Structure 1
Amino acid sequence: MRRSERKREVPDLGILSSRTLFSVQKELFSRLSETGHSQVRPRHGAVLAYLDVEGSRASDLAAQSGQHKQVIGTLVDELVALGYVERQPDPADRRAKLIVPTELGRDHMVKSDAILVEMEAEHARAVGEEAYAEFKRVFQLVAERQTRTK
């Protein structure tokens, strides 16, 4: 059996993870576009998915998303230009900056969260509530273990 055939029939963790990520991103960003957020791209999720409503430091976003701080800086620049976030002084450390969502950014975050809840409910209905809950539990364990072994 050729490698590509084997990978199709018995996909490994990397293939399953990437298929899931890309499929979730495609549906999420398509649905977000329908709600008025057509300029945001999946790459912006490295900021918006981890951003606190009160604001986050770029270094924290980098650590949470697994991206380099320089990548986060570029994404923040793009999101500032699009009107989704702004940089503000960190009240805890005036030398540092917080990345804070604007009203548009908060709207995106609320809609994104709601869409993801709907998507998860659809999966739970399709495979069964208990099976989906167990899948999420195990997937989280695998993700945490993989993160620790980096």
Structure 2
Amino acid sequence: MTDVNRPEPHVFELFDRAMRVLRADLDELMPDFGRKLRTSHLRLLSYIPETGIRVGDLATEAGMTAQAVGEFARDLRAVGLVELAPDPTDRRARLVTLTGEGREVVTATTAAIAAMEARRRADLGEKTWAALRSALSQLGAARG
């Protein structure tokens, strides 16, 4: 039975619904190895340059705490996607680098996201898709 008095969904519900659709698309388009990773792991992998990056710098880039990035990096190391080693220029810092399989996951993720975006752009139309991306960019850049 439908509740006719149900209020319109709030923004968190709308974001959750949209993320579920996008994640389902991504899972469909990703090779098996990428489906086992959380979206946050895939996002973090995308920030790691070929030469590697310090945990603290990765945290800044991803907008996370160094402790959270350290935990994510350990998770990714456990599945063979990154290596953690002392930074040769500062032994106190740890350097995160992609393994060969990690680079494959980043390449596959990039292709899957492009395909997913093309699919949703076609569904919504170019104008609506561009407005959505613009609104999300503005919202993400807003402070306080």
Aligned to 2:21: 23
* 1:98-117 to 2 correspondences below 5 Å: 98-117=95-114
* Separation (CA, whole Å) in 1 of partners of 2:114 and 2:140: 20
Q: Is the 8 A contact 2:83 2:99 kept in 1?
A: yes
Cα pair distance change 1:64/1:30, threshold 3 Å:
farther
Q: Is the 8 A contact 1:62 1:69 kept in 2?
A: yes
* SS across alignment from 1:131: helix
Cα pair distance change 1:57/1:22, threshold 3 Å:
farther
Larger mean Cα displacement after TM superposition, 100-109 or 84-93 = 84-93
Q: CA RMSD of the aligned region, Å?
A: 2.5
Q: Shift of residue 143 of structure 1?
A: 1.5
Paired residue for 1:138, among 108, 123, 135? 135
Aligned to 2:126: 129
What is the TM-score when the length of structure 2 is the normalising length? 0.79
Q: Shift of residue 33 of structure 1?
A: 4.1
Higher helix share: 1
Q: Is the 8 A contact 2:73 2:82 kept in 1?
A: yes
* 1:34-113 to 2 correspondences below 5 Å: 34=32, 36-45=33-42, 47-113=44-110
Structure 2: segments with no counterpart, 5+ residues: none
Q: Shift of residue 46 of structure 1?
A: 5.0
Structure 1: segments with no counterpart, 5+ residues: none
RCO higher in 1 or 2 (8 Å CA, sep ≥ 6)?
A: 2
- Indicate the percent of aligned positions where both proteins have the same amino acid: 28
What is the TM-score when the length of structure 1 is the normalising length? 0.77
Paired residue for 1:32, among 30, 33, 36? 30
Cα pair distance change 1:13/1:57, threshold 3 Å:
farther
* Separation (CA, whole Å) in 1 of partners of 2:65 and 2:20: 20
Cα pair distance change 1:135/1:46, threshold 3 Å:
closer
Q: Is the 8 A contact 2:55 2:96 kept in 1?
A: yes
Larger mean Cα displacement after TM superposition, 52-61 or 105-114 = 52-61
Cα pair distance change 1:50/1:14, threshold 3 Å:
farther
Q: Shift of residue 38 of structure 1?
A: 4.7
Q: Shift of residue 108 of structure 1?
A: 0.3
